[in-house]
Structure 1
Amino acid sequence: MMTSRVLLYGATGYAGKLIAASAKSNGLELILAGRNQSSLAAAADKLSLDFRVVGLDDPNAIARSIADVKAVLNCAGPFSKTAKPLVDACVQTKTHYLDIAGEVPEFEALAARDTEAKNAGVMLMPGVGFGVVPTDCLAVYLKHQLPTANRLILAYETQGGVSQGTANTVLPNLHVMGVVRKEGQLIPARPAWKSRKIDFGSGVIVAVSNPWRADILTAFHSTGIPNIEVYTVFPTPVRLLMQMSQYLGWLFSSSLFQSALARLIQTLPPGPSAAERARGTTRVIGVVEDESGQKVTAKLEGPEAYDFTALAAVAIMKRIVQGEAQAGFQTPASVYGADLVLEIPGVMRF
């Protein structure tokens, strides 16, 4: 490829705008893209960037729009709908594909295209934001510390608020079954089927098993550890709803409940304010253990989750522009190593 430009799809969404601003300040050559011309024009004008109006209905039009870029970064959820047409075009045009998805099904869909991507010389790397860069890097770091590890527990908490997009991903699906990794296999698991009391550094709080989180797939890909559980600190009302979902699934899946939830989400602000993000933090704990009972623990602390996503995405885009990419389905730490996360301003590992 003769270009160092990256096309940012979904550039007018909350995360897309943050990533675009961060990329611009880091000197990356971006082209903003999406469906809405007026919103794109305003965003592009603000950052003095080029833009392209790209719908996802015409495969040939998508291919034409990305044929001259090094990579596509997809920030437009739901990724279950937007990833496939963009990946189709990336494979056709030999363009690397990135996104900021964070849940198992979207990653499984891309992992299934590994051979196709390798044949095209294209890298498919979902999860270049807070999900899953810090946890993936911590998993690989811990595997290096204890090569005999056969069990991995990851837990994280975020402080600083949520965007409408995140709420739209999580809240309507609180009753949906997920998975856990046991002996290398993905086993069905219900939301919040287990809980743990964890001290991230400010006292003990409750985290519950998160069976949707993509680390269940990526950490296995990156480390080969066969038993993996992921825990998340949710707001108490969300945690309680998750725990009740096994009894109230019929209610959660009803059209009445879902439409009421959709109306509620629409009343939320697009995302945390700059002041809320500045006050926010993220904390991750990882624990590995082997059959003999040896155990190693490590922690990460970093900026607020949306800022983390923007900074992580920029760090990976920089690597790709420099020619650092591996064909096929990849995870951040499997390509760029456990210390990738330490390139992100404000991140500490201990």
Structure 2
Amino acid sequence: MTKTHDRPANPVIAVYGAYGHTARFVTAELLERGWTPVLSGRDAAKLEAAAAEHPGVEWRVATVDDAGSLDRAIDGAAAVINAAGPFEDTAPPLIEAALRARIHYLDLTAETLVAIDTFDTYRDDPRVKEAGIVVAPVMAFYGALGDLLATAAMGDWPAADEISIAVALDSWQPTRGTVLAGRRRAGRRVVFSDHRLSVLAGDEPAPEGTWTFPAPFGTQDVIGEFSTTDVITISRHLDTERISTFVNAAPLKDLMDPETQGPQAADDSGRSAQVFVVETVVRKGGEERRAAARGRDIYAFTAPIVVEAVERILAGRGRATGVVTAGEIFDAGDFLRSLPLDELSL
């Protein structure tokens, strides 16, 4: 359904890395809502091909080592969505470009170490406040959905003993970007315990166990300390001693498959048939609160998350400017109910 909240008429949104798999869903989502995307990236031929899928859409070549080209790429835009990995290379120069232009910046990174660096570098940067903009890294399936669910489950509790996030996928057809990000992480895992983040070396074995998910998954073998950006986003604004993360073990073999072909379209929209469930459990003393969501295609699902975020920010429906997470800036329950989920339990 097309959203029509109060906002500038026909706003222009720059999409960097616009020829990537997830970015194509972002462009389609922007157009569906009546926005004007401007496609940008490093490869002119790929940009032209991506723009050809949507006649009339403008495209602009820009490289992260050329600040002038980035300034031209986002000229006239109200916000820029960074969908280009590796984000350790693209996030800093694009944030700097957004600061110069005084426009909002959002990205889709699932790279935990990059997310930590972004929050740590820009959280107290006075230029962000002076510009009056939002810098929102990890506004995607990983980093935003779990954060929103945990925030909704936390409700009026000022603090919790533990927040657990469990992800189940019926398959994982990873994009090339996901595979490369995994290789760069080299097995290192970001964990949160005793109220602090730490990075474990890749040679430390991850814990194993089971988790009983909502339908259609049921009880699954899971791997603990699943290194997801939700650990970073939740720890930034919810008061808890520990954050535990789990993923069902079955789809992880797909990440290791050198012959993976990436996500395979199952309908005209380009979405895959992949089913996901994300469940959060917030515990305090002997009490617990749960929230869960079920949907389809983690990459395609990122598009309505980031575009809904942009729309709410431009409509003045965010709670703050500065460097923020989804759960921190938005009404979590209301945001979740706006997303195209197959099932939502709050």
Shared fold (TM-score, shorter chain, > 0.5)? yes
**Which one-letter code corresponds to 2:326 in the other structure?**
P
2:123 corresponds to which residue? 114
Provide structure 1 residue ranges, at least 5 long, that are not aligned to the other structure: 242-260
Paired position in structure 1 for 2:26:
19
Change (3 A) 1:190 1:231: farther
Pick aligned residue for 1:336 from 322, 330, 333: 330
Give how far 1:173 is off.
Answer: 4.6
CA-CA distance at 1:187 after TM superposition:
2.8
- Cα distance in 2 for partners of 1:197, 1:68 equals 50
Per residue, is there more helix in 1 or in 2? 1
Query: Gaps spanning 5+ residues in structure 2: where?
Result: 1-7
Contact 1:62/1:89, CA 8 A, preserved across alignment: yes
Identity of counterpart residues, as a percentage? 24
Structure 1 residues 29-70: Cα deviation after superposition (integer angstroms, max 9, x where no partner)? 211111122221222122121111111111133123323211
Are the aligned partners of 1:288 and 1:295 in contact in 2 as well (CA < 8 Å)?
A: yes
Once the 2 structures are TM-superposed, how far is the Cα of residue 303 of structure 1 from its aligned partner?
Answer: 2.2
Quote the residue 1:280 is aligned against.
274
Find the counterpart in structure 1 of residue 212 from structure 2.
Answer: 199
Q: Who is 1:255 aligned against?
A: none
Does residue 306 (structure 1) correspond to residue 299 (structure 2)? The answer is yes
Q: Tell me how far apart the structure 1 counterparts of residues 102 and 176 of structure 2 sit (CA, whole Å).
A: 33
Separation of aligned partners in 2, 1:287 and 1:190? 27
**What is the RMSD computed on CA atoms of the aligned residues?**
2.5
In 2, Cα distance between equivalents of 1:318 and 1:303:
22
Task: State the shift of 1:146 in Å.
Answer: 4.2
* Partner AA of 1:341 in structure 2: L
The one of 48, 59, 63 equivalent to 1:55 is 63
Paired residue for 1:230? Answer: 245
The answer to whether residue 159 in structure 2 is matched with residue 159 in structure 1 is no
Task: Trace 1:137-176 onto structure 2 (pairs within 5 A).
Answer: 137-144=148-155, 146-160=157-171, 161-170=173-182, 172-173=183-184, 175-176=186-187
Structure 1 residue 237, shift from structure 2 partner: 6.1
CA apart distance, 1:299: 1.6
> In structure 1, how many angstroms separate the alpha carbons of the residues matched to 2:50 and 2:312?
25
Q: Aligned pair in 2 of structure 1 residues 225, 345: CA closer, same or farther (>3 Å)?
A: same
8 Å Cα contact 1:156-1:232 kept in structure 2: yes
Per the alignment, in what secondary structure is the counterpart of residue 165 of structure 2? strand
The within-5 A match list for 1:73-152 is: 73-112=81-120, 113-116=122-125, 117-144=128-155, 146-152=157-163
Cα distance in 2, alignment partners of residues 230 and 20 from structure 1: 31
Q: Taking structure 1 as reference, are residues 236 and 26 closer, same or farther at Cα in structure 2, changes over 3 Å only? A: closer
